[in-house]
A and B are shown apart, each in its own frame.
Chain A
Amino acid sequence: MNIITKNFKALKELILYKPPEIPSPFVLGEKEEGRPEPVSPLDQIHADADMHASLLRCAERLAKALEKARKILTQPLRTETLASLAKELEALQEQQAQLTPLLQAYNRKQDPLDQTVSTSLQENRLMLERLYNLPANKDLVMRELTIPGTPPVAAILFFIDGLIDKDTINLAVLQPLMLLGNTHRQLYDGRPTTRLITEYLPSNQVRTATTFGDVLDSLNLGDTALFLDGVSEAVLLETKGQEHRSIDRPQMEQSVRGSQSAFTETLRVNTGLVRAILRTSDLTTEISNIGVRSNTLCAVMYLHSLVNPRLVQEMKRRLDGIKVDHVTSAGALLLQLIDHPMLPFPQALTTERPDRVAAALLEGRLAVLLDGSPFAIVAPISMFTLFHTGEDFSFSWIAASFLRLLRFIGTFLTLTLPAIYIAISYFHQEAIPTDMILAIAAARERVPFPSILEILMMEFAFELLREAGTRIPSLLGPSIGIVGGIILGQAAVSAGIVSPITVVIVAVTGLASFAIPDYSYSYAIRLFRFVLEILAFMLGLVGVACGLLALTALLCSVKSLGVPYLSPVAPKTRAGYDIVLRGPIYTQELRPDDLNAQDRRRQAGVSRQWREEPPAGREE
């Protein structure tokens, strides 16, 4: 009997479905548009409670103060104690003033960042805790201390862990405040913050702030904020000590003969690198904040007596006009700054080389550096700048001109070679020598795809390889080469998927694309290449002509920070030999005309003046 019931139960459990006892899965609720979020009555209650709590705290403090006054008055009178009592009462009065219901109501409506620092240490602490979402947030560190003196002063230090240098805080803030002074310090004599700054704190950059906005800005940068009891100011101490990458070799713009240092992620290191090249008071670095939520530092650098002031104005106008939460990188900032974001062509130079930035500044251009990005933006530029590299001036002018020509030819090949191949093999077969067209035709006998698909397939594969090579860990880099070389080149041909001529065309095109120094320019050219290929497939060389004409027209209408993109060719301006060819170094007398710099000349008419002087040993 028992067995039967057991079996029956087991069977029942097996057959009958019982919903598992797990909670319903998490679903992110949707915000319904048009319906306002219901205002919880609790919010209002909390706000009122806050107000009452602060009033209560004030009352407590008042009570304490009265108690203290009573004690003092019962003892023999001493001037110091009286003075400190007076101070305390004054502070109390101030706090009282702040706590009038009207003011409080006003403050709550106001942005908390605009609120002024209170005299009450307690209030300030609560305010910061609220702003930084303590105790959930563990980044903000609070250190309560008492500064010895007569009378001893209660104080709180705030700083953000990870942004500060611990040694600095220990040695240059805490030590002098707590240990090094004697007890005869009278902080409340006069303005306490001023005394602290001038007499007791050895920190190199110290400021005071009266609003929480300023305090927060400094804290976020890695400063330490010191609040004193009874003082309606905060002392901001420079304790920045963020961990950062050290200066490395350039990754993208390697050079044979140029300098070997590149920007890092830290703004001040980067500005320092530039200044190390241009050691002049003329070099101006203006710093502003970008990103409403991220507060990223952004520096505009220029040579004050050189650059056209309109350019600086315009750049600052554009930087100030960017209203976004966060700018992730220099590249993203670039896209916010340029005139034609629809075009893939880079309208400003992005470089990781301080020497290139310095050279650009010397030509009268602007550089924009963003904290956290190892790239500098140089604007305005012309398209021809993108063909130059930092070390062009390290070679003989003949070699440098040859290299530049090579890059131009490479660009042209990247752009047109596959398109011309497609156009000719589809429409103008007579233009290929007879033997070659027969060889192409023979090679294509076994290929099951049209030429256009062959080319597009191979180019797609090549782009894949390229992207894979960029993303792959460097350990696997060589294997990508093997995969690309063997599988795509050899196997595809022997499998009869593509013809050898296609591999040759795509390989030459790919190789040529590496000759373009600027990465995003190379991208733009490669993208436009596909447009040309489709045009060539549809309309033969007429299509190629249309594409090239449209491209030229498009580029002619582009401006980089108000300077024509194709200058000094279109519009034609006076130009030295530093566009396609690079003339001898002593002929580079004038700056680019299109920048309208304040000073056109950049070297003396005869730059090598030693040629006119008697040689060493022959001086008369």
Chain B
Amino acid sequence: MIVRLLITALLLGVMLLCSGCYGARETEDIAYVLVIGIDKAADGQQKFTYQIARPRGAGGGGGGGGEGGEKGEGGAWVINTFTAPTPSETRMLLKSTMSRFPNIGHVCAFIIGEDAAREGLGDLMSYFMRNRDFRGTMIMVVTEGTAEEYIKRNNPKLETSVAKYYETLLANMESGYYLRTDLHDFYLGLKAEGVSPYAAYSATNPMSGADRPAAPPAPEEAGKPYIAGDVPRTGEGDPTEFAGLALFRGDRMVGILDSDETRAVSILRSKGVRGYVGIVDPLKPEKNINIAFRLGAKPKIKAALYDGTPLYKVSVFIEAEIMGIPSGINYELGENRVLLENQISQLFAGHISRMLRHTQMLGSDPVGFGLHLRPQFPDYNALKQADFTALYQAAEIQVNVTTKIRRTGLDWQTSPWQTHNAEDPPHD
């Protein structure tokens, strides 16, 4: 009896084992694709760039025919670009170039060329969302120029793995100058009622140090807003930089927000913004004041619908901390503090209003004001009928920013400098 049972079990096991390979693959038989770049090619074809990790310590002859990065011996990755009508074919072609099976599961970022984004990403999204190899948490970045060039030029100096670069960089977005966006966010914007798709914007910097601000600074502001690629910098760092937000209407990219506008979006989406800002000294405009700020509370958006026109009341509460007062004016106490608080409030209100004007003009709602309008509809069928883009463009939005200076850094008041001559009188 036991023998017979054992034989049956063995036969079953052998049957299961023999009926084929169940997709078991050794870890070293797989090529891990880390980044995929998407570009538009001629005559409606698509150009896919695959950046594939070369396992550390492997060394020796690398596979594939692409260019290597500069890390380690032989480079830490391999880049391959293919042109084909559909993404599936590029994957098949990729397999033909290398011994190992390309695994898409570890892709961390999609880099999308601006041309492809402006053409429309809807077709691609349908492929990405249905395919089990891709997942909603993969980062999505729109880049100036072509993704292929961007991937080739991006050579992180601090990280050994490009995957770690994208994930760490986009996980730490306290500055609010860029937002982490992934496929899921984008797809939600594409399909869900009340929010528009958007994507992080990145570019490679020519490193010439040229100053190309995206807009003139606000009167309260010391610095200028930038869009990725235009930041004035020189040096030997990684030329890629993240600043700004690519806006989409439907599946087509329609515009780019600059860093200040993006920070306004971050604030309204309460993405944990916390950073520094230089503002013009309210009493001594030739000097600037450094402020550290953070969101004091989640921004409140109240929505109402009057005769088919939405009215939004936005209230933002900002907590600030003084980081430096070059003018030496005592802003820590009393009326001066209120003055400074108002200055900060005006600055952020200005940014938010500018962002709103810009996005309303473009007909793209990255903050998701439409979501707050949803409870105003009688039921879901009515909501499905509504045109949220038109509603957003017609909406009246009142912005109210309040600021509280909670802390004053390590000093609680300022003493004047020693006077050396009469030409430089002390402050009153």
Contacts and interface: CB of A to CB of B under 8 A. Distances in A.
B108 A429 contact: no
Contacts of B53: 434, 438
Which residue, of B24, B103, B105, B161, has the highest number of chain A Cβ atoms within 10 A? B24
B103 A430 contact: yes
A429 B106 CA distance: 8
A434 B22 contact: no
B103 A441 contact: no
Nearest to B160: A435
Contacts of A438: 32, 53, 55-56, 161
A443 interface: yes
B88 interface: no
Contacts of A575: none
A342 B108 CA distance: 50
A534 B16 CA distance: 11
B161 A435 contact: yes
B26 interface: yes
B427 interface: no
Contacts of A441: 27-28, 30, 32, 55
Given A427-B24, A429-B103, A434 B34 contact: yes
Given A538-B22, A539-B22, A434 B56 contact: no
A445 B34 CA distance: 19
A545 interface: no
Contact of B28 (A427, A434, A445, A537): A445
Given A430-B106, A443-B57, A538 B27 contact: no
B426 interface: no
A439 interface: yes
B394 interface: no
B58 A434 contact: no
Contacts of A523: none
Nearest to A431: B105
Contacts of B30: 429, 441
A442 B53 CA distance: 11
Interface in A407-458: 425-427, 429-430, 434-435, 437-445, 447, 450-451
Interface residues of A, number: 25
Nearest to B34: A434
State the main secondary structure of chain A at its contact with B.
Answer: helix
Given A430-B105, A438-B32, A537 B55 contact: no
A438 B53 CA distance: 8
Nearest to B104: A430
A342 B1 CA distance: 12
Interface in A535-552: 537-540
B23 A437 contact: no
A426 B26 contact: yes
B130 interface: no
Interface string B13-55: 1001100001111111010101000000000000000000101
Given A437-B32, A442-B57, A427 B23 contact: yes
Nearest to A443: B57
Interface string A42-55: 00000000000000
A211 to B, nearest CB: 43
B27 A425 contact: yes
Given A427-B23, A434-B163, A439 B103 contact: no
Most buried by B among A437, A439, A538: A437
Nearest to B76: A438
Given A434-B106, A434-B163, A441-B55, A426 B32 contact: no
Given A430-B106, A434-B34, A435-B161, A444 B22 contact: no
B27 A444 contact: yes
Contacts of A435: 161, 163-164
Contacts of A540: 22, 24
B106 A426 contact: no
Contacts of B16: 538-539
A434 B27 CA distance: 12
Contacts of B17: 538
- Which of B17, B28, B30, B108 has the most chain A CB atoms closer than 10 A to its own CB? B28
Contact of A434 (B23, B25, B26, B161): B161
Given A426-B24, A434-B108, A442 B163 contact: no
Contacts of A537: 24
Interface string B191-233: 0000000000000000000000000000000000000000000
20 contacts: A425-B26, A425-B27, A427-B24, A429-B30, A429-B103, A429-B106, A434-B32, A434-B34, A434-B53, A434-B163, A437-B32, A438-B53, A438-B56, A438-B161, A439-B56, A444-B26, A445-B28, A445-B58, A450-B26, A534-B13
Interface of A: 342, 425-427, 429-430, 434-435, 437-445, 447, 450-451, 534, 537-540
Given A425-B26, A434-B161, A445-B57, 10 more contacts: A342-B2, A426-B26, A429-B32, A430-B105, A430-B106, A437-B106, A439-B55, A442-B57, A538-B16, A540-B22
Interface of B: 2, 13, 16-17, 22-28, 30, 32, 34, 53, 55-58, 103, 105-106, 108, 161, 163-164
